[in-house]
């Protein structure tokens, strides 16, 4: 009986590592070598003998991003490319800035869960579950509130206040990825056929063409 328990425990440990979003480090750190021509799943490690404190340092997250755009939104992502010391650590973060009524539109991170913390402002946020339920989980957040968006699910953040706001998001991958739904569908390269989009969204082709010019 004890041997079976041990076997199941070992199996659970192996499987938990196998399904992790990012591989676990096999040494203290693996600072990304941005100059390496080698292509791997992730980034090549820099020789630790040439590693400096600057490899673990990023400056500027206190500065607001430019929100003078159609959405009134800006994201400053600190991933392993911006902060090489994050390589293989399975985390990244971002500063999200919003103009009044600014929107981070429906999007998904295919490789990461996101934890959003409000620093300033009032936000309406939410995520949608997968088919067939497509259930919306939403909440109004104020300063100091935290909300989590599960990995891979479509989610959004909307500043419902009359003043600018911002938050900090932690992500469970050094390279979380980003798919903005509207851009992916209506601005793909090469474009998806109008016939497909019109039928999928039950729209007239002229409306599809108009949407494509707005993105």
Residue ranges of the binding site for oxalate: 104, 109, 114
User: Binding site residues for Mn(2+), as ranges?
Assistant: 107, 109, 114, 155
C-alpha distance from residue 46 to each of 26, 31, 50, 174 (Å): 14, 5, 7, 16
Helix (H) or strand (E) holding 14: helix 2-18
Helix (H) or strand (E) holding 4: helix 2-18
User: Binding site residues, as ranges?
Assistant: 104, 107, 109, 114, 155
Cis before residue 132, ω within 30 degrees of 0?
yes
Q: What is the number of other CB atoms lying within 10 angstroms of the CB of residue 146?
A: 12
Contacts of 135 (CB under 8 A, 6+ apart): 128, 129
DSSP states of 189-204 as a string?
SSPPPHHHHHHHHT--
Residues of 69-97 as b/e, b for ≥16 C-beta within 10 angstroms?
Answer: eeebbbebbbbbeebbbbbbbbbbbbbbb
């Amino acid at each position: 009986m004890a041997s079976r328990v041990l076997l199941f425990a070992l199996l659970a440990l192996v499987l938990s590592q196998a399904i992790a979003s990012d591989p676990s480090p096999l040494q203290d750190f693996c600072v990304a070598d941005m100059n390496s021509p080698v292509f791997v799943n992730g980034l090549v490690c820099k020789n630790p003998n040439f590693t400096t404190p600057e490899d673990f340092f990023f400056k500027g997250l206190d500065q607001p991003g430019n929100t003078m755009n159609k959405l009134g939104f800006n994201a400053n992502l600190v991933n392993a490319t911006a902060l090489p010391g994050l390589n293989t650590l399975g985390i990244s973060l971002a500063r999200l800035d919003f103009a009044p009524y600014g929107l981070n539109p429906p999007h998904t991170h295919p490789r990461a869960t996101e934890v959003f913390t409000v620093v300033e402002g009032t936000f309406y946020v939410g995520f949608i579950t997968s088919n067939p339920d497509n259930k919306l989980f939403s909440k109004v957040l104020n300063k100091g509130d935290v909300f989590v968006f599960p990995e891979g699910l479509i989610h959004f953040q909307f500043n419902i206040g009359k003043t600018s706001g911002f938050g900090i998001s932690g992500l469970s991958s050094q390279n979380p990825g980003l798919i903005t739904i509207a851009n992916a569908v209506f601005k793909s390269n090469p474009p998806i056929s109008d016939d497909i989009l019109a039928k999928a969204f039950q729209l007239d082709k002229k409306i599809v063409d108009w949407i494509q010019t707005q993105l």
